[in-house]
Structure 1
């Protein structure tokens, strides 16, 4: 399918779906004792960490220092945000991940009017009107991440899977410090995500005349290096359009957000 069709389809998604950025934000990123409870905010907004609407926490997962799943004790969806609670019993680094099955949309025109179905390419065949034209299907994958470290850092929960859009940090998330550079490496299905546009923002935008967002692009190795200017909580967001396998969708869109904390020098 031609690139202009892909661009048109993704523009249509932006116009019809929520433009809010989704994030996962724990109450603490580093803890000095185990058997400690954390609260996790799952929300979405147009300004960094300013909640606009809730996102279901049903697909929120917790992985322990050994990389294996752990229990989330409670989940609650409110009117503006969702909250979850978990007990971190062991030392090491935990991964919080909001992800689920791919979402599918099929776009088409009927008598010149643009329409869509929430169905993949196969399921849409039985639902499309006979006079549908310009039919194209899109698969959307979303993932939101955060890492919490208890006492000392570990690496198992940081491991990538080789599937979808993923990120690794050259510095452990528990060791990020202001004014020190950190290299991020992005991959799509295990291969370098070169030319990926990435935005990094910091909490407190509501109280600044200039949001202070940084817009960066990965190199041929899928890497970029940035230096957080000040301590605080940050949000990294990115997305990538590519061709799908053509079975259930013609195109795909992978979205990724990561929240992290930068300490004082």
Structure 2
């Protein structure tokens, strides 16, 4: 199976460096049979599926408990190649592990034909742009990297969509994805399904294959696409979209996410 790659750099990577990498939230386990244990979560940016290239700031990482409340990891450290967080699984149910999610603004412009950029919304840009700036466009970017971990039995509270930004839903619980069984994904933007959103699905072990074997998927009129994990293992799904935005802060919106998940043996 292959993980889907979105232009989904977490909000921590709103700068150009982020745009060049894929953010990953990669837990040591996706399913646990009993409470009281831990998962260790790798947090990193990568150019190749699940190959850690750069550790990221752990302050942007949060744990959403099965009841929807927010918790911090038990321990976290930022490394050069990857950052690591330990998450306690104290109660049964499904947890959401998430990086990013907060809107970030950047303004691109040209001076003498040279492309430039500053971090900030339209109001900030108006004060800082050089007088000879042209082709000024302010973008509101929001990107998330996620994974779900289920303990004992799956629950749905952390899977609910909010109607804000680019969101996804599966036709089954993430803990119930099995190799060889088709999965349908619905993508919505601000609560509405959108046709034509592109996504990439990639499978673990890309470093050891001559062919990355990624699946390139596109949503239909219902905002949906389907895939069938060919093998058991870890996958990455990435998706992003861009649209005009009428706002005092931005001219367009760019939303994206990356989701790591596991396909179980049949």
TM-score (normalizing by structure 2): 0.91
Segments of 5+ residues of structure 1 without an aligned counterpart are 1-12
- Aligned-residue RMSD, C-alpha: 1.5
Aligned to 1:245, the other structure's residue is in SS state coil
Deviation of the 1:18 alpha carbon: 3.4
* Misfit runs of 4+, over 3 Å: 13-18
Deviation of the 1:41 alpha carbon: 0.8
Deviation of the 1:68 alpha carbon: 1.8
TM-score (normalizing by structure 1): 0.92
Q: Does 1:262 align with 2:263?
A: yes
Aligned to 2:128, the other structure's residue is in SS state coil
Distance 2:213 2:112 in 1: 45
Task: Write out per-residue CA displacement over residues 79-133 of structure 1, whole angstroms, 9 at most, x where no aligned residue.
Answer: 1111111111111111111124212111112222221111111101111111211
Specify which structure has the bigger relative contact order, considering alpha-carbon pairs within 8 angstroms and separated by 6 or more residues. 2
Task: Write out per-residue CA displacement over residues 32-84 of structure 1, whole angstroms, 9 at most, x where no aligned residue.
Answer: 11011111111111110001111222111111111222331122110111111
Deviation of the 1:241 alpha carbon: 0.7
Provide the residue aligned with 1:74 in structure 2: 75
Deviation of the 1:17 alpha carbon: 5.1
Number of aligned residues: 253
Provide the residue aligned with 1:7 in structure 2: none
Provide the residue aligned with 2:201 in structure 1: 200
- The 3 A distance-change label for structure 1 pair 114 and 258 is same
Deviates more, 1:52-61 or 1:214-223: 52-61
Aligned to 1:125, the other structure's residue is in SS state helix
Aligned to 2:185, the other structure's residue is in SS state strand
Distance 1:129 1:27 in 2: 48
Provide the residue aligned with 1:174 in structure 2: 175
Deviation of the 1:144 alpha carbon: 1.0
